[in-house]
């Protein structure tokens, strides 16, 4: 009996579902013979429910390739129980939660005769979290994410593009996974590049047909920065369409909290400074805010300081806004305008207070 347990552990660590399944079955039979029929039944029940899922999970490991470039046309990401922080407005957060619940309760809804169609189109500015949301949904539902690489799909041979599209949908069909078409507009963009309009129409039609038959019983997410490039016919295929916009002040504060987590900060407890920062960061994407905070954190560590300071973030924000066009006068003015005391400005720049005042007077 101990041998079976050992083999199950080995199988689990090697993600070998078949090994786990066959040794669990042996174990259940032995336990049953030894007289513990209750435990034996419990093991049988646990593996019976899992077989269909685990076997098709294994199938997810052999991914299709483009016949010409030999590049993989999909990547599979298995959820790892990671905590993915996504900060969204209340309304959008609620819509994403609704979608997750529809996916989680899909089989119950179907059993009750309720038709569900789980297809979600995310559109909006770059760096606002479309790809992150797809990963978050995968974590929340426990379903692997099959990410279609549209750069690899749009093959130089039109025939291959249509074939690649079909391969992707066939690959994800009837498997416990979410098909994620990222940078979805790549197909539409090809309009200017390689194909005649008529040829491209055929590719788009094949895409539409695939979406139609796929979305009925599978889960589909698509994301694009360029909604204007998508055909109207494509929009209609998705039963949930969400615009992911730039964060507002409330969300910016939450993003600052998330990105500074684990660092000692004083400005996060200073309402006035926090308010100022959130106003200065309006119009920035979460990805921009992450870059600014990460740069500020890096400078803090490099300079051997313990605390991430308000002026560190302001300095990085200023550099972010004026890439390639930095002057010390302007930076001094920016810090001064945003409430950093002149003595602190002098100290961090290694100049005298008199010089700080000189710079400021020059600006007048
Ligand atoms: N709403 C958000 N909440 C928390 N972090 C975010 C959010 N949006 C973006 N990020 C951070 O910014 C990075 C980039 O975001 P992501 O790739 O999801 O954006 P995107 O909308 O897919 O951008 P693109 O249109 O360029 O593909 C992510 O690694 C994530 O850490
Ligand atoms: Mg993205």
Q: What is the pLDDT of residues 282-323, one digit of tens each?
A: 999 999 999 999 999 999 999 898 899 999 999 999 999 998
pLDDT at 127: 96
Ligand with an atom nearest the CA of residue 246: 1
Q: Name the residue with the closest Cα to ligand 1, atom 24.
A: 126
Task: Say what the alpha-carbon torsion angle 245, 247, 250, 253 is, to the nearest 10 degrees.
Answer: 160
pLDDT at 56: 58
Structure tokens at 117: 């169609």
Domains of the chain: 2-51 (no CATH), 74-243 (3.40.50.300), 249-363 (no CATH)
Share above pLDDT 70 across residues of the chain, in percent, rounded to a whole number: 93
210 CA from centroid of ligand 2 (Å) = 22
CA distance linking residue 57 with residue 65, whole number of Å: 18
Residues with Cβ–ion distance below 5 A, ligand 2: 130-131
Lowest mean pLDDT among 27-41, 68-82, 181-195, 217-231: 181-195
Q: With 70 as the cut, is the pLDDT of residue 195 above it?
A: no
**Does ligand 1 lie within 6 Å of residue 254's CB atom?**
no
Please give the model's pTM, rounded to 2 decimal places. 0.82
- 112's CB contacts (< 8 A; 6+ apart) are none
Number of neighbours of residue 207 by Cβ within 10 angstroms:
25
Q: How confident is the model at residue 335 (pLDDT cuts 50, 70, 90)?
A: very high
- Give tens-digit pLDDT for 142-160: 899 999 977 778 766 667 8
pLDDT at 54: 53
CA distance linking residue 364 with residue 348, whole number of Å: 23
Q: Are 203 and 186 a contacting pair, CB within 8 Å?
A: no
Mean pLDDT of the chain: 87
Q: In what order do the strands lie in the sheet with 240-243?
A: 74-77, 145-149, 178-182, 219-224, 118-123, 240-243
Q: How confident is the model at residue 190 (pLDDT cuts 50, 70, 90)?
A: low
């Amino acid at each position: 009996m101990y041998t079976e347990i050992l083999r199950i552990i080995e199988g689990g660590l090697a993600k070998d579902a078949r090994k786990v399944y066959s040794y669990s079955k042996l174990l259940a039979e032995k336990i049953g013979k030894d007289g513990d029929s209750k435990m034996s039944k419990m093991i049988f029940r646990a593996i019976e429910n899992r077989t269909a899922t685990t076997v098709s999970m294994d199938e997810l490991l052999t991914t299709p390739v483009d016949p010409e470039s030999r590049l993989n046309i999909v990547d599979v990401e298995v959820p790892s129980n990671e905590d993915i922080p996504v900060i969204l407005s209340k309304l959008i957060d609620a819509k994403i939660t609704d979608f997750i619940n529809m996916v989680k309760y899909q089989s119950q809804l179907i059993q009750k005769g309720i038709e569900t169609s789980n297809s979600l189109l995310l559109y909006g500015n770059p760096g606002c979290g479309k790809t992150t949301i797809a990963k978050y949904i995968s974590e929340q539902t426990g379903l692997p994410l099959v990410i279609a690489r549209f750069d690899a799909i749009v093959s130089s041979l039109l025939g291959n593009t249509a074939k690649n599209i079909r391969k992707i949908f066939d690959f994800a069909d009837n498997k416990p996974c979410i098909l994620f078409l990222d940078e979805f507009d790549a197909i539409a963009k090809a309009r200017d590049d390689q194909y005649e309009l008529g040829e491209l129409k055929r590719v788009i039609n094949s895409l539409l047909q695939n979406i139609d038959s796929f979305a009925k019983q599978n889960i589909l997410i698509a994301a694009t920065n360029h909604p204007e490039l998508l055909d109207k016919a494509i929009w209609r295929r998705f039963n949930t369409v969400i615009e992911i916009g730039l964060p507002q002040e409330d969300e910016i504060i939450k993003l600052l909290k998330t990105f500074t987590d684990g660092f000692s900060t004083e400005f996060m407890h200073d309402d006035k400074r926090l308010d100022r920062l959130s106003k200065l960061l309006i119009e920035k994407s979460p990805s921009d805010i992450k870059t600014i905070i990460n740069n500020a954190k890096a400078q803090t560590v490099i300079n051997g300081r313990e605390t991430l300071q308000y002026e560190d973030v302001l300095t990085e924000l200023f550099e972010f806004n004026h890439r390639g066009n930095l002057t010390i006068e302007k930076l001094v003015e920016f810090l001064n305008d945003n409430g950093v005391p002149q003595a602190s400005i002098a100290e961090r720049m290694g100049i005298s207070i008199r010089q700080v005042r000189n710079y400021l007077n020059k600006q007048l």
